[in-house]
């Protein structure tokens, strides 16, 4: 039986401590390209959103360059995140234990891991971030095309552009909020950042936070997506 929580690059290495491969090098590069695009899009988007933050255009070579680069960064973000989506969507499917995990969110915040159900590669919070970003990137990219007048001005009406501008702004605010939650959670749970820099975690970390994933990994169940 194939486990949705285990990817082909996941592997356990015996030792003291036990080391677990959580992300392949290509997955980490994919992640950091996406993260870099999000930061650059936020900075250039702020610069274009209000005159009070126009000084941020200096990071991109001025106002004209900022306006030209911003939508292309969105295109790169879309394809980069598409790579992450294809890698990890199966591991982010909702499972029965995720509802229990959410119901016990107070124990999560208090660090009472012993009161929580065994979790796969991602917990309910991480899955929420994944699907939230998936939806918001679609909103941002689709609305961005509508207001990308350099190439698509003749394909949309003024009223459609007005709606798209509003959706783009709201989607951007929501995306930044989701990104902040993602970064805060990565810092809050010790060992998480090292998973996305070195690709590895300790066996103790995996046992404490993602025990179901570790059990499936040790049992030899894998998903072909890597």
Rounded Cα gap, residues 47 and 126, in angstroms: 30
Dihedral pair phi/psi, residue 20, rounded to 5°: -120, 125
| Known catalytic membership, residue 13 | no
Rounded Cα gap, residues 132 and 128, in angstroms: 6
CA distances from residue 108 to 136, 159, 171 in whole angstroms, order as listed: 26, 45, 28
User: Residue 64: is the preceding peptide bond cis (ω within 30°)?
Assistant: no
Exposed (0-12), middle (13-18) or buried (19+): which is 50, by Cβ within 10 Å? Answer: exposed
Q: Which residue, 175, 90, 78, is CA-closest to 127? A: 90
Residue with tokens 């809050």: 188
- Where does 56-202 have alpha helices with state H? 63-88, 96-103, 105-110, 124-146, 149-152, 158-188, 192-197
Q: Which residue, 183, 216, 225, is CA-closest to 87? A: 225
Catalytically annotated residue among 31, 70, 168, 182: 182
Sequential DSSP letters for 137-180 = HHHHHHHHHHT-HHHHGGGS-HHHHHHHHHHHHHHHHHHHHHHH
- The catalytic residues are 182
């Amino acid at each position: 039986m194939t486990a949705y929580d285990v990817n082909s690059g996941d592997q356990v290495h015996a030792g003291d401590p036990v080391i677990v491969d959580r992300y392949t090098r290509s997955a980490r590069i994919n992640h950091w390209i996406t993260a870099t695009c999000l930061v650059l899009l936020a900075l250039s988007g702020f610069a274009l959103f209000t005159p009070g933050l126009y000084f941020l255009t200096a990071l991109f070579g001025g106002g004209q360059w900022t306006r030209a680069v911003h939508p292309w960064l969105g295109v790169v973000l879309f394809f980069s995140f598409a790579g992450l989506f294809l890698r990890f969507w199966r591991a982010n499917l909702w499972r029965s234990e995720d509802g229990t995990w959410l119901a016990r969110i107070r124990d999560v915040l208090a660090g009472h891991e012993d009161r929580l159900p065994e979790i796969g590669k991602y917990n309910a919070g991480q899955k929420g971030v994944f699907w939230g970003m998936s939806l918001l990137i679609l909103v941002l990219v689709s609305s961005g095309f509508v207001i990308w007048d350099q190439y698509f001005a003749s394909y949309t009406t003024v009223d459609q552009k007005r709606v798209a501008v509003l959706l783009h702004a709201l989607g951007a605010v929501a995306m930044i909020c989701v990104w902040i939650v993602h970064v805060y959670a990565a810092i809050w749970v010790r060992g998480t950042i090292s998973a996305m820099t070195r690709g590895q975690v300790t066996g103790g970390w995996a046992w404490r936070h993602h025990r179901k994933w570790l059990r499936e990994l040790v049992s030899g169940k894998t998903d072909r997506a890597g």
